[in-house]
Every structure is written in C-alpha cells, then in structure tokens.
Amino acid sequence: MQEKMHSTTILAVRHNGTAAIGGDGQVTLGAVVMKGDAHKIRRLYGNKVVVGFAGATADAFALLERFEAKLKDFQGSVPRASTELAKDWRMDRNLRRLEAMMIAMDKDSLLLLSGTGDVVQPSDGVAAIGSGGPYALAAARALVTHSSLSAKEIVQAALHIAGDLCIYTNRNIEVEEV
C-alpha cells in the first residue's frame, strides 16, 4: 500500500490594496516529516507573477513548468495562462493524472487552479490549498473581516494558526508580496 503524501499549506490574500502569498515548509510521508524547509512559493515571469503549489512534488513541478511556459506564450497574463493550462490539464491524459494544485497571483489577479480543470477567482480575495488549507482559509477570512492588518501580515498570522492546528503544516513560513 502506498503512503499518501501530505505536503503543504499555501495561502494567498488580497486586502486593503496589498497582496501576498505564503506557504509552510513541511513535507510529510505518512506519519513522518520528510523535510521541514521546502520552498513552495516561486516568482515567475520577471518576478511579476508569484505562485504557490501543493500536492505530489514531481506533479507540482511539472505543473509549475507548464504554467511558466503558458505565461511566456501569453505575455504574462495570469488569467489567460491559467485558463489555457486548465484546458490542457483536462484534455491531456498524462496531465490529468497530476496530483497537484496551484495558486497564481500578480498585481491584478488571484486564481486557484485545480486538477479538475477549475480556474477559480475567489470573490473575497482569499484562497488556500493543501493539507492545512481549510485552517489557513478560515483564519485569513476572520482576519480580513476583523482586523486592519496588511495582506502579508494576514498570511503570516493565518499560516501560523494553520501550523498550530494541522499536523501536516509547520511554522517555517515564507511569504512573498505582490
């Protein structure tokens, strides 16, 4: 029986004119922490686009490479690159087997891409993926509603909360502002 890999928590927030995306550093295999300092946030397209990814490592990197190629094809347009990648993801038999998700953002867009071909723009400016995603999402939504923190501060605080609640999330957090 193959162990299920739990690998991350990624959170992105747009709030009060600021935007940030962050992730934890933990990678686990079953009940074992394999790595505590993984980097799951990447800057692309001349540092204008920031992505965070969750899922099987090789699949996440394959997705990231394809997304980067789409960004080049569509002059850095996150919505267009995301839509075209999602189309490929649904149509290509090999891509459909990828077990990964991604959040992509730039100064204008925040999109969540799933393996089912979904491209979702959250209406509240908050998106989360990965094992601790639901915890981080709930914390971020509360902080957006009941605080005057910046997006970066919300991402940091919400990821720390997720790290306290989710055994697959640690407090080794990296955050990038857009």
Active site residues: 8
H helix runs in the chain, sequence order: 57-73, 78-91, 93-96, 133-146, 151-165
End-to-end CA distance of the chain: 42
Residue with tokens 């720390």: 160
Q: What are phi and psi of 84, to 5 degrees?
A: -65, -40
Q: Give, in degrees to the nearest 5, the angle at Cα 161 between 159 and 162.
A: 65
Rounded to whole angstroms, how far apart are CA atoms 14 and 144? 9
The candidate with the shortest Cα–Cα distance to 57, out of 115, 98, 1, is 98
Report the C-alpha gap between 19 and 152 in whole angstroms. 7
What six digits make up the tokens of 48? 């204008």
